[in-house]
């Protein structure tokens, strides 16, 4: 599949066939993620590919339990239906044949460290150094998603489940310095006639300074 065709036709997929993706294909997909650009070429990512249905079930329950805790808050009264919808939105990914946990190794630049020592606020540091690790991870995940699509797989990239990050990191045995920063589901799409979501026209997002 041509690169531009992959970019134009890729969609977020939330229903999958039971087909099990071959490990050879997974290696090809993760290799594409590996080749993404990263801040200072730090390559701060690590991917955990999960086939194990028991692990996925534990992840799902951990997320459900975490949202159920919110429902007990006094502040959550009147939002019960919304919280239930979040539970559904945050757990469907575990039904896919493969889940992928994206781990990040935080990296601090010399400049960031100097700004801390100088007394810059967290907000000011973030404006001057706007999360280069997460931006790098995003580039890597985009490579992953496009490679998966080119091989006939669908993906969906999620951060909503990270409300339960502590429980999920325990289940996945994530050890410092790594942190769980994203999750993806991957498999053969089980949807036909997927509605194409509205995308802004290029005139709405482009400014040219000559």
pLDDT at residue number 133: 94
Strand pairing report for 98-104 and 179-187: antiparallel
pLDDT at residue number 193: 67
Number of structural domains in the chain = 1
- Classify residue 27: in a domain, yes or no: yes
Q: Are 157 and 117 in contact (CB under 8 A)?
A: no
Torsion sign (Cα): 35, 39, 41, 43: negative
Strand pairing report for 45-50 and 179-187: unpaired
Structure tokens at 163: 């409300």
- Burial of 173 from C-beta contacts in 10 A (0-12 / 13-18 / 19+): exposed
Structure pTM? 0.93
Query: Pick from 184, 32, 25, 23: which is nearest to 103 by CA?
Result: 184
- Classify residue 45: in a domain, yes or no: yes
Which residues in the chain come in under a pLDDT of 50? none
Structure tokens at 47: 């991917």
Domain CATH for 159: 3.40.109.10
- Classify residue 190: in a domain, yes or no: yes
- Classify residue 111: in a domain, yes or no: yes
**Where in the sequence is the domain holding 185, given as residue range(s)?**
3-205
- Classify residue 52: in a domain, yes or no: yes
- Classify residue 178: in a domain, yes or no: yes
DSSP string, 16-69: B-SPPPPHHHHHHHHHHHHTS--GGG---EEEEEE--HHHHHHHHHHHHHHHHH
- Classify residue 210: in a domain, yes or no: no
- Classify residue 189: in a domain, yes or no: yes
Q: What's the CA angle centered on 157, arms 179 and 191, to 5 degrees?
A: 150
Q: Are 29 and 143 in contact (CB under 8 A)?
A: no
């Amino acid at each position: 599949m041509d690169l531009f065709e992959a970019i134009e036709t890729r969609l977020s997929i939330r229903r999958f066939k039971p087909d099990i993706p071959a490990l050879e294909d997974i290696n090809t997909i993760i290799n594409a993620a590996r080749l993404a650009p990263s801040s200072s070429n730090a390559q701060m990512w690590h991917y955990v590919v999960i086939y194990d249905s028991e692990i996925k079930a534990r992840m799902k329950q951990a997320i459900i339990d975490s949202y159920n805790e919110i429902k007990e808050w006094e502040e959550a009264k009147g939002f019960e239906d919304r919280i239930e919808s979040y539970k559904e939105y945050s757990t469907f990914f575990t039904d896919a044949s493969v889940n992928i946990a994206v781990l990040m190794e935080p990296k601090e630049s010399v400049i960031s460290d100097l700004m801390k020592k100088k007394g810059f606020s967290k907000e000011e540091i973030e404006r001057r150094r706007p999360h280069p690790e997460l931006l790098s991870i995003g580039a890597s995940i985009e490579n992953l998603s496009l490679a998966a699509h080119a091989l006939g797989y669908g993906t969906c990239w999620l951060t909503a489940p990270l409300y339960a990050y502590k429980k999920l990191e325990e289940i996945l045995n994530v050890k410092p310095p790594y942190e769980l920063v994203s999750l993806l589901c991957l498999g053969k799409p089980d949807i036909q006639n997927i509605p194409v979501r509205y995308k802004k026209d290029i005139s709405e997002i482009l400014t040219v300074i000559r």
